[in-house]
Amino acid sequence: GKTLVVTGVASGIGNEVARLARFHGARVIGVDRHPVDMTLDAFHQADLSDPQAIDALIAALPARLDGLANIAGVPGTADPALVARVNYLGLRHLSQALLPRLTGGSVVNVASILGAAWAERLAAHRALADTPDFAAGEQWLTANPVPAESCYQYFKEALIVWSARCSRPWFASHDVRVNCVAPGPVFTPILDDFVTMLGPDRVAADAAKMKRPAFADEVAEGIVFLLSDAARWINGVNLPIDGGLAATAL
């Protein structure tokens, strides 16, 4: 079986990815800031907003890995600096450090349907993607501040752009695939925060287009697929898992 690192494993989508991957025979090493209430092959409690905590985690992980699912995330109701750190800078730091251990494997990042407007700020997202590390990224963001009310969208867009841009050199030099998934609304504890973030009107409008939000296991299926060898020629994509919500805009 494969050895996978799954972040955000204590709740929602991460929890379901761990369950499904273990069902398929993978060895799952879970990571979360909160303790986890399920059977895992290993678990590391770590704050993925803190580069030092991430370095300690990296030191504790095995020398060989087959996959990394970056699922931990915070909503836009959180402090924008925290959104930047968890949803982008910390995720990138962890991925870059684990890259040499992942040869032949795969990284899946959880973006969002709310990152769909990435092309509108492509120059900024490229510039941020080109910063070499956590500290430089944070410095760049101090010089190029992000509006607090759209910080969640901004860092999901940035994640989509960074993933796509790194998929090619990573694939070439380390034989690692890098993909995103973009869920629409999912029944997890974060969903209430999106109502606060976007306003009840937007959430009601989305709900009217779809019969229901996704269940976390429906999103997990797509992530586990992208981590598997069945997806061996899928690289650099952003896969919507939204029941067709994004397509309703066309």
Residues that bind ligand NAI (CB under 6 A): 8, 10-14, 32-34, 47-49, 71-74, 86, 110, 112, 183, 185-186, 188-191, 194
Residue 175 CB, nearest approach to ligand NAI (Å): 26
Q: What angle do CA 42, 70, 40 make, to 5 degrees?
A: 20
What DSSP designation does 89 have? I
CB 233, min distance to ligand NAI, A: 25
Beta strands in the chain (DSSP E): 3-7, 27-32, 42-45, 67-70, 106-110, 177-183, 238-241
Report the alpha-carbon distance of residue 85 to residue 72 in Å, rounded: 11
**Least Å from the CB of residue 94 to ligand NAI:** 10
Nearer to ligand NAI, 164 or 190 (CB): 190
CB of 184 to ligand NAI, least distance (A): 6
Please report the DSSP string for 1-55 in residue order. Answer: --EEEEESTTSHHHHHHHHHHHHTT-EEEEEESS---S--SEEEE--TT-HHHHH
Nearer to ligand NAI, 67 or 143 (CB): 67
Q: What are the φ/ψ torsions at residue 234 (nearest 5 degrees)?
A: -105, 115
14: nearest Cα among 28, 26, 27, 3: 28
Q: Which of the residues 43, 118, 134, 152 is marked catalytic?
A: 152
Considering the complex, state which of residue 32 and residue 66 has its C-beta at the smaller distance from ligand NAI.
32
Cβ at position 55, least distance to ligand NAI in Å = 14
Could you count the other beta carbons within 10 Å of the beta carbon of residue 207?
14
Nearer to ligand NAI, 48 or 84 (CB): 48
Q: Does residue 152 carry a catalytic annotation? A: yes
| Phi-psi group of 239: left, alpha or beta (phi > 0 → left; psi -120 to 50 → alpha; rest → beta) | beta
Q: Sheet holding 27-32: strands in order across?
A: 42-45, 27-32, 3-7, 67-70, 106-110, 177-183, 238-241
Classify strands 106-110 and 3-7 as parallel, antiparallel or unpaired.
unpaired
Indicate the residue among 33 and 209 with the shorter CB distance to ligand NAI: 33
Q: Which residues are catalytic?
A: 152
